[in-house]
Structure 1
Amino acid sequence: MAVIDLPRPSELLVPTLRAMRELGGSASINEIVETVVQREGFSDQQQSQLHNQGPQTEVGYRLAWTRTRLKLMGLLTNSSRGVWALTDEGAALVNDSALPDELQRERIHDRWIAYVGELRAGPGKRRTLGDDDAEPITPEESDEASEVRGWKEHLLHELMAMTPDGFERLAQRLLREANFDSVAVTGKSGDGGIDGLGVYRLGLVSFPIFFQCKRYQGTVGSGAVRDFRGAMAGRGDKGLLITTGSFSADATKEANRAGAQPIDLIDGDHLCDLLKTYELGIRVETRTVEDVTVQPGFFADM
C-alpha cells in the first residue's frame, strides 16, 4: 500500500519541538506522537498507515527519525528510560517568541542541512546540500529505530500469530502478574466485546476492571473505545483495552473523555514493555561490558 500524504521527517522537526514545548519540555514517545498528531491534524487514515506492513505505523516511524535528527542537532536528548527532553539550546530556539514561524523553520532546517553536510564531507569540512540530498543521512538506523525493528517487532509478530483464545489467556496471565485477583476470561458471543474481568486491589480497596483484547495490526480508532464503553454500561466503571497495534489520537481522547467511564489503553509498544517487565515469553540477560584503558605513564615509570 502506498504511503498516504505524510510529511517527511525534515518537515516534522518544528512540529516535534513545538509539541515538546507544549508538553512542558519533556515527554514520553507516546506523548510526543499523540501531541504531534493532534497539532498537525492527521486523519485516521494517515494514522493507520503502516510502515513496511507493520507493526509500526508510518507516523511513528517518521517521528522516530525526527527525534533522532533533533538529538543529533543537540536540540533534544533522551534518557535510558525513554523520556525525551528539550536541551537548553532547543528550548531557547522554540521559545523565541520574537522569531517568526517561517524563520524558525528555516533556522532548524538549515541547521540540519549543515549537520548532514559535515557528516558526509568529513570532520572539519562542510558540503552544501539540497533538501532532498539530506534525506536520509545514512542507511544505518538510530538505536531507537533499531530497537523497534528488533525484539519488539519480533514479539508483536509472535502475538499476531496467536489464536484469539491464546491472546486472551496471555492477557489473563499478564493481569495476574500485575496483582489482579480473580481474573477470568469471559469472552463469548453476545458478550458485547468484553473478553474478561479482573479485580484490582489497591491497599484496602478493590474494584472490578473489564478488559478487551484486540490482536490488531494497525490503529484502533475512537469507535472501538465507544463500543467497549457501551458493552460495559451498567456492569462496571473501569475498562482496560489491550491491543497489539496502536491507538489513534481520537481514541486516546475518547478514552479520557470527561464524564464518561474511564478506559485505560495499552498499545503494542506498551504491551511489549509489560511482557518484558514480567518476563512473559521474554528472557532478559544482562551483559557486563569492560572498559579497558591503557595507562602509558605506568610503563614509562618502570
Structure 2
Amino acid sequence: MSAKQSASSVPSTKSLLLPTIRALQDLGGSGTTEEINGKVVELLNLPEEVLEIPQGSTSQSKVEYRLSWTRSRLKKYGLLQNSARGVWSLAETAIDLDDLDAEEIVRTVRERYRNKVIDAEPPDEPIEAIEAIAELSWYQQLHKTLLALEPSAFERLTQRLLRESGFIQVQVTGKSGDGGIDGIGIARINGFLSFHVLFQCKRYQGTVTASQIRDFRGAMQGRTDKGLFITTGTFTRDAIKEATRDGAPPIDLIDGEQLVQRLKELGLGVKITMIESVEVDSNWFARI
C-alpha cells in the first residue's frame, strides 16, 4: 500500500463519531483516551500501516489526531464529558446509536460554534471550535520543543518528571552499552510500598517497535521487575502487546501525547493562564 493510499484509508472524524460512542459503551460508559482509542481501533479493525501514519511533525498518528477532534465534537454536541483527570464518559447512560446521525452531529456543532472559531483548520478537516485549536497549538509547540532538546537535557527532564511524580532516588546513568537503560528510580506507593524501576527515555519522532521493547526488557533482566519506557514518539500495537506479555516483566509505556499532558499537569515548562470571561446580561437591565 502506497503512502497516499494509506493516508486515504484513515477514517474521517465524521466516520469516527459513532464508533467512539460504541467504544465507550463497550468500556462501561467511561475510559481514558488510550482505552477509547484502542477500542475504536479494535472495532474498526484498522491495520498497523494505517495506525502508524504520522500527523505532520507531532507525536500523534493521524488516527489519534482525528479521534481527538471526534471527542471534541461529541463533547460540544453534549454526548461526552471529560474530567480533569483525563477520563472521558458518556453524558447519558442510555444512548441508542440508531438514534444518532453523524451528519446531524457535525452540522449542529458547526452551527453552535460558528461565531466562536478562528480562521484556522486542521489538515483534511473543517474548521472547529477555538478550544480545540488552542489545545493543538500548545501541544504542537511543546512537542517541537521536546524534539529540539539535547539527549542529555531530555534525560534530565525525565528525571525531573519522575521526581515530580513521586519517585525517589532517581538517577540518570546514560551509560553506553547498557542496553538502553537511561536511569533508575524508586517508585513509592502511598508512602509504604516501593519498588525499583529502570527507565529508558527516547527523544524520538518515530514509532517504537516490539523489538525495541524486547531489547529493553533484556537489559532489565535480573536487575528489576519493573520497567518504564518514555518516548516523544508512539508505540506500535505489537510493542504495546509485548510490554504486557504474560510471563515477562511488565513495562509501562509513556508516549508523546501522554508525556506532554503529564508535563502540563505538573506545570513543567507549561504555564496555564486563566482568562476571565465577562458577559453583559441585557435581560437584567430590561427588568429595571
Specify the alignment match of 1:131 in structure 2. Answer: none
Specify the alignment match of 1:112 in structure 2. Answer: 102
Counterparts of 1:161-240 in structure 2 under 5 Å? 161-202=148-189, 203-240=191-228
Q: How big is the shift at 1:235?
A: 1.1
Contact 2:60/2:257 (<8 A) preserved: no
Q: What is the CA deviation profile of residues 221-241 of structure 1, one whole-angstrom value per residue up to 9, with x for unaligned ones?
A: 333222211210111111111
Structure 2: which 5+ residue stretches go unaligned? 113-123
Mapped to 1, the partners of 2:85 and 2:192 lie a distance apart of: 31
Change (3 A) 1:140 1:87: closer
Change (3 A) 1:225 1:11: same
Specify the alignment match of 1:99 in structure 2. Answer: none
Contact 1:185/1:195 (<8 A) preserved: yes
Mapped to 1, the partners of 2:253 and 2:53 lie a distance apart of: 20
Contact 1:65/1:142 (<8 A) preserved: no
Matched, 1:282 2:270: yes
For 2:232, give the aligned amino acid. Answer: T
CA-atom RMSD in angstroms: 2.7
Specify the alignment match of 1:78 in structure 2. Answer: 82
Q: TM-score, normalised by structure 2?
A: 0.82
- Flag the structure with larger Rg: 1
**Matched position secondary structure for 2:205:** coil
Q: Which of 263, 269, 273 matches 2:251?
A: 263
Mapped to 2, the partners of 1:285 and 1:87 lie a distance apart of: 28
Q: How big is the shift at 1:14?
A: 3.0
Matched, 1:19 2:6: no
Structure 1: which 5+ residue stretches go unaligned? 95-103, 124-134
**Matched position secondary structure for 2:96:** helix
Q: How big is the shift at 1:174?
A: 1.6
For 1:296, give the aligned amino acid. Answer: F
Contact 2:73/2:109 (<8 A) preserved: no
Matched, 1:9 2:13: yes
Contact 2:31/2:89 (<8 A) preserved: yes
Q: How big is the shift at 1:277?
A: 3.0
For 2:102, give the aligned amino acid. Answer: W
Mapped to 2, the partners of 1:176 and 1:116 lie a distance apart of: 43
Q: What is the CA deviation profile of residues 43-85 of structure 1, one whole-angstrom value per residue up to 9, with x for unaligned ones?
A: 3322221112323210011212322343454433334543322
Q: TM-score, normalised by structure 1?
A: 0.78
**Matched position secondary structure for 2:219:** helix
Query: After the TM superposition, which parts of structure 1 deviate over 4 Å for at least 4 consecutive aligned residues?
Result: 115-120
Counterparts of 1:147-162 in structure 2 under 5 Å? 147=135, 149-162=136-149
